[in-house]
Chain A
């Protein structure tokens, strides 16, 4: 069964590379409490592991110790692991989910038991026959392997100097559970979820990631079936049956593997209408026409607002007819992308500018300076 959900999300990006802690994103996501139902929340942070910035930071979840052993022996075979530890959590924090709109909510709140949460800082360890594969491609195939072949293990994030913390529960509770306020980063993404069925699985929360890509998503991809089938031709395995996973892979294919500039890749994801393309100047028309011809199966159709981030930037974009909310704001070098203006105002009461981006028009924030690398973990 493919899961579908509504949600709220917020992205904060500091274009000067200045680090700030997770309290902002916590407050912003708490302001959008009504957009979640306690069945999932999560955060991505960039710049949080400066001391391991040259290592792939793997965040994994395991069902039990047995699976952890199995996955670790695979990781040890494929990677040189510099450091491994359980992800620190606030043990006293209890996570709940809202079971229904219940008359007696206190009784109706089942407690959530977290899975095993671990992180590994590692470099690739390729065999002779794998030497020709780029590090990133190598990591992608290993992530695919773990997610697909090792039952009960799942890679939450796999980029450098970034991490994703996500799970089942209300986003603001998860923020306390993961001690989000203790991390510092130049870019943050937060997400709260309202799934319409109850998978109750930690891997199913947002953000979804691959390498340093992190994607959060509010919407339902009506073109899911064909997006998935097209991606499969390029070796992606859509194991999670979620829309957001597909979005992550599409961006990876277009931007990392096909090397399209981000603004061009976004034109493939949410292309202009033919009636507008037909009126464009020759060069632009030929380009957009070619994008639609070649990448028609990757057009993401249906209501969505997505925020995706990578180590050097963050983008927010809506579907072609803006069927989900997305608001953007700017204050100095700091860019905000959110489901609601209230979340932006909560953490930045007087932004320089707040606007509603038009359908299919991306908001792009990129690093103008190198990020500040102070030790971020207190």
Chain B
């Protein structure tokens, strides 16, 4: 389990680098490090389905970021912004709530069962009857497409909404540029 913690520390470091670095392409690469570490962590806790999805989605996400950045600008203009007195009060309040949240989570996590021992018995039921009820050898497929197919339908709707949102933001087809300037 020690390698999992090494990975978690590497992910934290890469996330901080992604926020702080000035070059946006380097930030995209640091985000890629976070994503691939998540994929390796999925392999370490023996979830190959999630690892495959995470690897291919992460590759595609880094390609998206690179393709957009190579066409626009590399520099992040928000990094070295001055701290004004207006920003102090919200930061203090936010920090207070983060500490409060951390304390409550630290108390609540003591009640959880140990790593690897499930709290509910539903999963054991799926393991027992999954293959004979659905005929699918991959239990993950039988769960996401048979027992929990409504979840997958909702996921497809979420993806559809995301695609529609992106296309609405970046489209130029219905926009009349000159008309918008005059108004």
A, B: real partners: no
